[in-house]
Every structure is written in structure tokens, then in C-alpha cells.
Amino acid sequence: METAARGAPRGGGSGGAEALLGELEARVRAVVRASSWWERHGVDCSILALSLLALPPGFLCLRSEHGLVFVLGITILGVCHYTLTVKGSHLATHGALTESRRWSKIWAHFFVEVCTAFPAEDALHGHVKMHHGYTNVLGLGDSSTWRLPCLNRYVYMFLAPLLIPVLTPLVAVERLRRARPGAALRALGLIALGLCSHYWLLRHLSGFRSPASALACMLCTRSLLAHPYLHINVFQHIGLPMFSRDQKPRRLHMMSLGVLNLPRLPVLDWAFGHSIVSCHVEHHLFPKLSDNMCLKVKPVVSRFLREKQLPYNEDTYLARFRLFLSRYEELLVRAPPITELAGLQ
């Protein structure tokens, strides 16, 4: 099934698109060069460091018999978990935490495998090479991994997110079966280290007496922000123009058409990062930039796209939630239509 765009954005054709992208890159490069190390990397590294430092108080709060203190501990551990696993893993996978390739690999293994319980090589391939390289291209980077057609809209939007902490290590094991033996053993060891450390700390530092209660707490903290995590991953791409692999537009048009920004949301900005929430368009255009730098170049990118009469998609979380709940079958069950953009391939 195909849908045709009503009008091609300004700058159609390969030469025009490449020239526009080059102009935008020059503007962003000027902002990056004028920024300090603190702005480029320090702000986000500090957020991750604070999250690591907050873990011991979070575990200790769970020893309390006072209900509010116990809930505070769950909240601290849950927010820290998503800050390390979503924000940390995302930045590390893109090499946005440091300019050193060696340290980028080390941080990727720590945040993706130890903290998130997922193979770093699979994250790099699936997210950076496929999703970013072929954004909204059907069969490649179309976010189809988030579709579960067997579930109805209410189960998917309200209950399915709770399974993410359980499914993540199971999917990891399945992926590792096809990996190189050495890489698979390393990833499996680091994933086991992360999961066992979490369990051990709950038993010995937080004082959980039974394995079942410790595992239940692991599930609770690891699913604290699972709902917005799942929702945002589908809100920002699905429902926007989709392309065929043979007739995909040039990169600038692909990202401006196929990516959407949500408003700034303080808790999600902290835990997921600006590049996932409010600066997703900027992130897809400049994936090597840190969250703080995506926020800094956001006015430059939005102004440029609007000057050139290119799309700059924005919507609220609630509006997207209502849209997906009302059009669930169309957006998350059926195959999406292909958008034809004459002159932009």
C-alpha cells in the first residue's frame, strides 16, 4: 500500500538535499566548537555519576519499615535504573559520552550489558546501524520490533510494558546464541554480573529475607518507567511517513519527515535523556551529540528546518497516547503504508 505526499519539501533532489544538510551541519558544528567540554560531555556524565552515587541510599531505604521511606527507595532505584540503562546505554552506544573510542567501548559494555542486560554488539547493530541508518524504512529501521499484533490495545499500552524487564534478558540470550563464542561469553558474563549484583544487594544490603521478595523488588524497580519507555519508542516514529528500501529519501528529508519530538518532561528528560524525548529530531540528524548538546543545538535545527520549509514534527505525550489508543489497529497491527515523495529519492 502506498500514500503520496501532497508536496515535496523545499530542497528536493539529491544535490539540493545534500547542500541543505551540509549547511545545517556547518551551523551545528559552529555551536559544538564554541561549547566547552562540560557542555559537550560533562553535564551528562555528571547525571550518570549522580545516579550511581544514589544507588546505595536507594538500597538502604528499602531496609526501612516506614512505608514512605520504602517507596522512596523504590523510586530512587527505579529512576536510577532507567537513567543508567536508557540514557547511559543510549549515549554509550552512540559514542557520545567521550571522544575516546576505547572508553566508548568500555562504557557501552558497562551500561548496555551490566546495567541493561542486553548484548552491546546487538544494540550497536540494531539501533545505530539499522534504526539510525534506515529510519522508517520498512523491514530495516521501521521500529517494527516494538509491534506485538497479537495483543489488543489495552494490554499493549497498559500491561505489556511490565514485561520489558523479564523479556530483555530472555531476548539477550536468544541473540547470543547466534553471536561469536568469545563475544557471547563476555556478554553473558557481564549480563549475569549485573543481574546477580542487583539481587545480591537487595538480599544483603536492603535486607530482603526471601528470594521471591528480592526478585519482586527487582521487577518493580526495573519496570518503574517501563510505560513511558515503550510509549515513547513507538510515538516518535510509528504513524509518521514510512519508506521503501528502494525509494527512501535523502537523509535530511528522512529524518525531518520520520522523527518526532515530544515536549520537555523533567523526570523523563533526566532518566531517558533529551535525545530520546524532546530532541529526537536533533539526535537523528546528529547522533554523536550528547543529550545536553542536542538540547543546545535544538533552536538551530528547528529554525533551519522551518526556514527551509521542511517538516519539524512535534506533539505532546498525551496527544500521541490518545492517537495510538484510538488508532491502534492501524498503527501497531497492520502493515504501515509506504509514503511516496517524488524527487526526494
pLDDT at 2 over 90: no
Query: What pLDDT is recorded for position 309?
Result: 94
Which pLDDT belongs to residue 12?
Answer: 54
Instruction: Check pLDDT > 80 for residue 242.
Output: yes
Query: Mean pLDDT across the stretch 16-22?
Result: 90
Stated pTM of the model: 0.93
Q: Which band of pLDDT confidence, cut at 50, 70 and 90, is reported for residue 8?
A: very low
Which of 196, 174, 78 lies closest to 118 in space, CA to CA?
Answer: 174
CB atoms under 10 Å from CB of 305, counted, come to 21
User: Confidence band (pLDDT; 50, 70, 90) for 259?
Assistant: very high
DSSP designation for 160: G
- What's the grid cell of residue 202? 537487595
CB 150 within 8 A of CB 329: no
Q: In whole angstroms, give the CA distance from residue 275 to residue 203.
A: 35
Residue 152 has pLDDT above 80, yes or no: yes
Q: Which amino acid is at 243?
A: F
Residue, of 336 and 198, whose pLDDT is higher = 198
Q: Is the pLDDT of residue 11 over 90?
A: no
**Helices H / strands E in the chain, number of each:** 18, 4
Sign of CA dihedral 242, 239, 281, 104: negative
Give the number of other Cβ atoms within 10 Å of residue 14's Cβ: 12
The pLDDT value given to residue 5: 46
Q: Which residue has the higher pLDDT, 143 or 283?
A: 283
Helix orientation angle between 67-82 and 211-222, rounded to the nearest 10 degrees: 60
Euclidean distance between CA atoms 293 and 204, whole angstroms: 40
Between CA 112 and CA 108 the distance in angstroms is 6
Q: Is the pLDDT of residue 17 over 90?
A: no
Q: Mean of the pLDDT values across residues 54-67?
A: 97
What is the mean pLDDT of the segment spanning 167-184?
94
Lowest mean pLDDT among 13-27, 188-202, 262-276: 13-27
Burial label for 74, CB within 10 Å (0-12, 13-18, 19+), is middle
- What are the tens digits of pLDDT across the range 81-134? 999 999 999 999 999 999 999 999 999 999 999 999 999 999 999 999 999 999
Question: For 266-286, b where at least 16 C-beta lie within 10 A, e where not — what string?
Answer: eebbbbbbbbbbbbbbbbbbb
Percentage, residues of the chain above pLDDT 90: 86
Q: How far apart are CA 187 and CA 317, in angstroms?
A: 35
Which residues face 137 on adjacent strands?
A: 243
The DSSP letter of residue 242 is B
C-alpha cell of residue 176: 547470543
**What pLDDT is recorded for position 175?**
94
Q: Which of 252, 260, 251 is nearest to 278 (CA)?
A: 260
Please report which confidence band the pLDDT of residue 48 belongs to, taking 50, 70 and 90 as the band edges: very high
CB neighbour list of residue 113: distance below 8 Å, 6 or more residues apart: 119, 120, 187, 190, 191, 194
> Average pLDDT over the chain, rounded to whole?
93
Residues 124, 287: contact at Cβ < 8 Å?
no
pLDDT-based confidence at 246, cuts 50/70/90? confident
* pLDDT over threshold 50, residue 7: no
- Max avg pLDDT among 136-140, 176-180, 279-283: 279-283
| Positions of E strands within the chain | 2-4, 260-261, 313-314, 338-340
Mean pLDDT of 246-252: 88
